[in-house]
Amino acid sequence: MFEGSLLAIDVGGGTQDLFLWEPGQTVENAVKMVLPAPTRVLARRLEKLTAQGQAVFLSGRVMGGGPLTGAVRRHLARGLPLSASPQAALTLSDRLPEVQQWGVVLTDAPPPDTAVLTLGDVDLDSLGPIFHAFEVPFPSHFAVAVQDHGFDPQGSNRRFRFEYWEDFLSRGGLLADLAFREVPPRFTRMLAVQKTLPDALLMDTCAAGVRGALLDPQARARREEGLLVVNLGNAHTFAALVQKERLWGIYEHHTGLLTPAKLFDHLTRFQTGELTNDEVFADNGHGCAYAPDFPRLPKPDLTVITGPQRRLARGWPGGHFAAPLGDMMLTGCFGLWAAFLEKEKISVKLIDGLE
């Protein structure tokens, strides 16, 4: 029997979204938070130290870079010392000699008179006091999503990440296979989270977003015939052709490189199997792939759209802005929650009678 509560954490490039579920409590009354992404929080902390002229040491584990990497560059440009443990430095680049060329000194221990910043995609030390302040018992179970490229020492990490999606589709593309208790060795960020939370369920943020979007009532009504799910995140755009419990095709690009016109063109050809992997990769996206037995189904009548940058898809024919369980910003958290319930074989009745 399930005891305690589940904290689902969806770590994005702009925000980290949190959903605390306790058995017997309605989703509407659950604790929910949308906070700045860990990389943005740490970037702001580093910027304060930079303004003070302080030397900095980065400890902890590999996490999402983005804003933090930019803050490190600006710190070094000021001529200020910055050192890092090898594990933390992987946040800046998987190729550590490149990081050293920037001026980062790799060392296992902080030099004297150095401010220490601890890196990680999950910060339980900061979350604990929030729960305590509001008399909320600290969760006993965790499900976490991060966007994980993995690392290919011989080639492109973009290509390496998408090779996983191609392999996933070739193995059947089952929705249930997108959540991990045992993380594949290629996923370095997930493995880092697992060291912090050894028993956590792990997912990629894109996969969690798709799973959560499928909880939208209109999406559930079209699962049998098939639909297109589009998750327009702050950093990545991910689309999947879904029918029943299977993904037939996957498209992934960087949101900042998309315009509505380009997005509409790509999605139109993706639905019919005409968009190619090479085209998307050449456009600095990740790729586009289809199952080996892609059935060339008729274009879906429904496209479920979610994500904080969903405005890019405004006007898309047949588009529906999803709000699973009434909250678009927690789509990924709800996907984590649904995957956790499935793994634990827990049945929950939602407000509209779905088991």
Residue spans of the domains in the chain: they are 6-33+141-344, 38-119
pLDDT value of residue 48: 98
CA distance 69 to 312: 26
What pTM was estimated for this model as a whole? 0.92
Asked if residues 9 and 16 have their Cβ atoms less than 8 Å apart, the reply is yes
Report in angstroms the alpha-carbon separations of 232 from 27, 44, 79, 263.
Answer: 24, 25, 37, 10
Residue 4 corresponds to which tokens in the numbers above?
Answer: 């305690």
- Averaged confidence pLDDT in the chain: 91
Indicate the class that CATH gives domain 38-119. alpha beta
User: Which tokens is 212 given?
Assistant: 């959560």
- The answer on pLDDT for 354 being more than 50 is no
Residues 29 and 327: beta-carbon distance below 8 Å = no
What pLDDT, in 10s, does the model give residues 153-184?
Answer: 666 767 777 888 899 999 999 999 999 999 98
Q: Does 353 score more than 50 pLDDT?
A: no
Residue-wise pLDDT for 208-235, tens only, equals 999 999 999 999 999 988 999 999 988 8
Q: Is 22 helix (H, G, I), strand (E, B) or coil?
A: coil
| Mean predicted confidence (pLDDT) in 277-293 | 92
Range with the poorest average pLDDT among 30-39, 239-248, 320-329: 320-329
Amino acid letter, residue 295: P
Q: Is the pLDDT of residue 133 over 70?
A: yes
**At 152, is the pLDDT very low, low, confident or very high (cuts 50, 70, 90)?**
low
- Percentage of the residues of the chain whose pLDDT score is greater than 70: 95
Q: Tens digits of per-residue pLDDT, 64-121?
A: 989 999 999 999 999 999 999 999 999 998 889 999 999 999 999 999 999 999 999 9
Mean pLDDT of 30-51: 97
d(CA 162, CA 123): 28
Q: How confident is the model at residue 298 (pLDDT cuts 50, 70, 90)?
A: low
Residue type, 91: T
